[in-house]
Amino acid sequence: MTKKILEIKELKREFIMGSETVHALRGISFDVNAGEFVTIMGSSGSGKTTLLNILGCLDKPSIGNYFLDGVDVKSLSRDELAQLRNHKIGFVFQAYNLLPRTTALEDVELPLLYNKEISAADRRDRAIRALEAVKLADRHDHTPSQLSGGQQQRVAIARALVNEPVMILADEATGNLDSRTSYEIMALMQELNTKQGKTIVFVTHEPDIASFSGRTIQLRDGIIQKDSKNENMRSAKEVLAGLPVTEDY
Amino acid sequence: MSLINLIRIALKALQRNKLRAFLTMLGIIIGVGSVIAMVAIGQGSKQSIHDQLSNMGTNMITVQPSSNINGGVRIAGSSFQTLTIKDIVALKAGAQYITEVSPAVTSRGQAINGALNWPTTMSGVAPEYLDIRKLTLKDGIAFTQEDVLTSAKVCLIGQTVITNLFPNGENPIGKVIRFGRIPFQIIGTLSPKGFNAFGQDQDDLLIAPYTTVQKRILATIYYSNIYASAASEAVTDQAVTEMTQILRDSHRLRANEDNDFTVRTQQELIATLSSTSGLLTVLLTVVAGISLVIGGIGIMNIMYVSVTERTKEIGLRMSIGARGKDILMQFLMEAVIISITGGVIGVFLGFVSTQVVTLTLGWPTIISESSVVLSFVVCAITGIFFGYYPAQKASRLDPIEALRYE
């Protein structure tokens, strides 16, 4: 039986804005198995961001349960949530969020600095391997300003990989990139998913990007509108090969 | 999070903005530097006053006739004649806390060597006086008890008098000069002592046996002063009490009568002057302390700006697993590193500027260990104190909002 990485049961999230209560999520249930590549789609206001925050253990549900790798998130304190993020989740953001004036290697090492079980030598090894995994082995000493957008996002992916998380959580990770670089990132994601068996949850609003995943969850007004398997998953590598060759990298 | 990781994170964060870190440090650097330099100057002047007085003999005790009332009229102490040979004998016999005692009489007059003359003071004293006053001979010999007994017409001569009476550099020893009408043979020259703290020339004097001055010049049996040495500085107070009692007995004063003499110690003088320059030290320290506080406020200010500016970074750190505590410690560590590094540079600057003051202005300075330790500790505390509030603000940020912050 495949292991369930995410188990979400009747999840609701409400915000109190002054005198009004906003129902961002109105009852969502779904599971994600290990090794799945899921995209979560939805227009703005669909509760996509709220769901992402909860999945990323940055926020907790008002009602309902969320189990991440068997851990009930709802019962955890702020500090325990931080530790859970450190051990089990790798974030990739739209704006890369690399530290300015910091080399790629140092940036990738960052999550491991908050894990005291990892020694300095181990930390360096793992950061180097993570950078190799995103094909940036020759860019260790480059700072964000010396890297292209796609390269920066790959450093961010390496940073998300370095702590060997159970799930990579990407938030509009291709949102700031042109289509060619987007495909490159998606190709990398697909490779991590198929070759290394990483579970990936990818939040996007572009159907084009969603077509690279094995499953799409469509959100609308705080409920799941559609949860469908993508039978003919496109290969980003092939799409990339089909694009006209351009001069710039 | 381990301390090493914490320091590593804080150092990297500071490295990303070196100029700002340095500018923030500047307040602390100047604060610490000025504390050390100012305290060094204060301590130096205090010490130099102390040294100057020590040179006069800090364990020296002086007895003067005191003012008294004679039929309702107060009479100045110096013209009051109470100190006699009886007192010296009593002191020598009865006092345990004093080691040496010497009477003194003084006479102002004209010293004459042939065609040259010079107005000066002749002190008539016992041989012990040289020890009590810490006077040394440059040349020749001192007079002895024998000379005192015979009222010998011999004297020791101070450098200022030599300069004025023997301007051509001839050796004064063995020469006969006159003081008033009395011829004195010079048997020794005194080492120069220079001017004292009050601007008096300590080399403008002649020293002769007190009997000689009493009998041949002043025609008196009274002394103008008695000088004594306490066994050590520590027992000066006991010595004063003891001498007072002996002199009261010797003067046959009844219990209800006031002393007709005053016993003074140098310690009183030292205490007065030390407290004056101690006040100076306090003032300088306060001024420097204020600049440290301003430096601390500078740190707080910059850390605040830094927290706001780095909100997104804080959000990221939280999302990859930094706890509120980790963020708090990071910013606190940054503040402490800034203040301690500033402190180290400040100590160095303090040393350098103290040297500069000594070399250029010639002021005496003493760098006290306590001021270095104190300003260092204050620095660390300043860092923690002023760094805490911004750090706490950073640690309480909501990671979701921090990540979205633009």
At A144-183, the pLDDT tens digits run 999 999 999 999 999 999 999 999 999 999 988 998 899 9
Q: Tell me what the pLDDT averaged over chain B comes to.
A: 85
Write out chain B residues lying below 8 Å of A159, CB-based.
320
Tens digits of residue pLDDT in B218-245: 888 888 889 998 887 778 888 888 988 9
- Nearest residue, CB atoms, A114 vs list B315, B320, B324: B320
Find the largest Cα–Cα distance for chain A: 56
Query: For residue B15, what are its two tokens?
Result: 């490295």
Q: What are the tokens at A227?
A: 């949860």
In this prediction the pTM is 0.70
Which DSSP string corresponds to A78-105? HHHHHHHHHHHEEEE-TT--PPTT--HH
Nearest residue of chain B to residue A85 (CA atoms): B321
Residues of B within 8 A of A113 (CB-CB) are 1, 5, 8-9
Per-residue confidence at B97, pLDDT binned at 50, 70, 90?
A: confident
Query: Which residue, among B193, B181, B183, has the nearest Cα to B135 in the 3D structure?
Result: B193
Q: Which residues of B195-234 are buried (b: 16+ CB within 10 A; e: fewer)?
A: eeeeeebbbbbbbbbbbbbbebbbeeeebbbbbbbbbebe
Q: Would the CB atoms of B16 and A106 count as touching at under 8 Å?
A: no
Under a CB-based contact definition with an 8 Å cutoff, are residues B137 and B154 in contact?
no
CB of B314 closer than 8 Å to CB of B307: yes
CA distance A49 to A58: 11
| Residue owning tokens 């599971």 | A31
Q: Which of B320, B323, B327, B404 to mutate to test the interface with A (most CBs of A within 10 A)?
A: B320
Residue B36: HSE in the Cβ half-sphere, 13 Å Cα cutoff: 29
Contact across the interface for A91 and B320, Cβ inside 8 Å: yes
Q: What is the distance of C-alpha A33 from the center of its chain?
A: 15
**What's the token pair of residue B367?**
């760098």
B104 contact partners, CB below 8 Å, separation of at least 6: B123, B124, B125, B129, B210, B223, B224, B225, B226, B227
Say if B396 is an interface residue toward chain A (CB within 8 Å). Answer: no
pLDDT at B77: 52
* Residues of chain A neighbouring B319 (CB-CB closer than 8 A): 56, 58, 85, 91
Per-residue model confidence as pLDDT tens digits over A187-231:
999 999 999 889 999 999 888 899 999 999 999 999 999 999 988
Whose structure tokens read 């469509």? A218
And the tokens for B283? 């003032």
pLDDT tens sequence across B238-273:
888 898 899 888 888 888 878 888 888 877 666 766
Searching chain A, which residue's CA lies closest to the CA of residue B403?
A97
pLDDT value of residue B74: 64
Q: What is the pLDDT of residue B56?
A: 62
For B96-100, what is the mean pLDDT? 87
For residue A107, the model assigns a pLDDT of 92
Q: Given an 8 Å threshold on Cβ–Cβ distance, is B322 in contact with A78?
A: no
3-class SS of residue B195: strand
pLDDT value at B194 more than 70: yes
pLDDT at site B1: 60
Q: CB B321 to CB A93 under 8 A?
A: no
Q: Which residues of A125-155 are buried (b: 16+ CB within 10 A; e: fewer)?
A: ebbbebbebbebeebeebbbeebeebbbbbb
Q: What percent of chain B has pLDDT over 90?
A: 26
Contact list, B15 vs chain A (CB under 8 Å): 101
Q: Which residues of A touch B318 (CB under 8 A)?
A: 58, 82, 85
The predicted pLDDT at position B199 comes to 74
Cα B239 to Cα B29: distance, rounded to the nearest angstrom = 49
Confidence class of residue B71 from pLDDT cuts 50, 70 and 90? low
Q: Say whether residue B318 is in contact with chain A using an 8 A CB cutoff.
A: yes
Q: What per-residue confidence (pLDDT) applies to B53? A: 67
Cβ within 8 Å, pair B321-A115: yes
Distances in Å between the Cα of B326 and the Cα atoms of A45, A162, B7, B315, B392 are 33, 20, 11, 12, 11
CB contact under 8 A, B320 and A100: no
Whether B312 and chain A come into contact, CB under 8 Å, resolves to: yes
Does residue A77 sit at the B interface (CB-CB below 8 Å)?
no
Q: In which band, very low, low, confident or very high, does the pLDDT at B57 lie, cut at 50, 70 and 90?
A: low
Instruction: State the residue for tokens 């640690």.
Output: B395
Residue-wise pLDDT tens digits, B127-168: 999 888 888 888 889 999 999 999 999 999 999 999 999 988
Mean pLDDT of A70-80: 90
What's the farthest any 2 CA atoms get from each other in chain B?
Answer: 105
Pick from A5, A2, A21: which is nearest to A13 by CA?
A21
- Whether the CB-CB separation of A168 and A192 falls below 8 Å is answered with yes
pLDDT at B78 over 60: no
Q: Sign of the C-alpha dihedral, residues A137, A138, A141, A147? A: negative
Distance from CA of B345 to the nearest CA of A (A): 26
How many angstroms from the chain centroid is the CA of residue A135? 18
Among chain A residues, CA nearest to B319: A85
Looking at residue B214, the DSSP 8-state letter turns out to be I
A-B contacts (CB, under 8 Å): 70
What pLDDT, on a 0 to 100 scale, did the predictor assign at position A146?
Answer: 93
What pLDDT shows up at residue B210?
92
CB B83 within 8 A of CB B261: yes
Collect all residues of chain B within an 8 Å Cβ-Cβ radius of residue A13: none
Structure tokens, B76: 């100045």
Question: Average pLDDT over chain A, rounded to whole?
Answer: 90
B207 in Cβ contact with B190 (< 8 Å):
yes
CB < 8 Å & 24+ apart, contacts of B278-286? B278/B42, B278/B46, B280/B42, B280/B45, B280/B46, B281/B38, B281/B39, B281/B42, B281/B43, B281/B46, B284/B38, B284/B39, B284/B41, B284/B42, B285/B35, B285/B38, B285/B39, B285/B42, B285/B371
ipTM: 0.92
* A115 with B9: Cβ contact below 8 A: no
Residue A110 near chain B (CB below 8 Å):
yes
- Adjacent-strand bridge partners of B84: none
User: Can you list the domains of chain A with their CATH numbers?
Assistant: 4-242 (3.40.50.300)
Strand blocks (E) in B127-254: 137-140, 154-157, 176-179, 182-190, 205-209, 225-230
Distance CA B279, CA B285 (A): 10
Q: How confident is the model at residue A248 (pLDDT cuts 50, 70, 90)?
A: low
| Per-residue CA distances from B210 to A227, B56, B124, B128, B219 (Å) | 121, 20, 4, 11, 11
CB under 8 Å to A201, separation ≥6 — which residues?
A: A6, A32, A38, A39, A40, A55, A167, A168, A169, A170
- What is the per-residue pLDDT for B55? 65
Q: Say how many residues make up chain B.
A: 406
Nearest to A114 among B15, B313, B326 (CB): B326
> Which residue of chain A is at minimal alpha-carbon distance from B327?
A114
Tokens of B238: 């006991």
* A59 neighbourhood in chain B, CB within 8 Å: 400
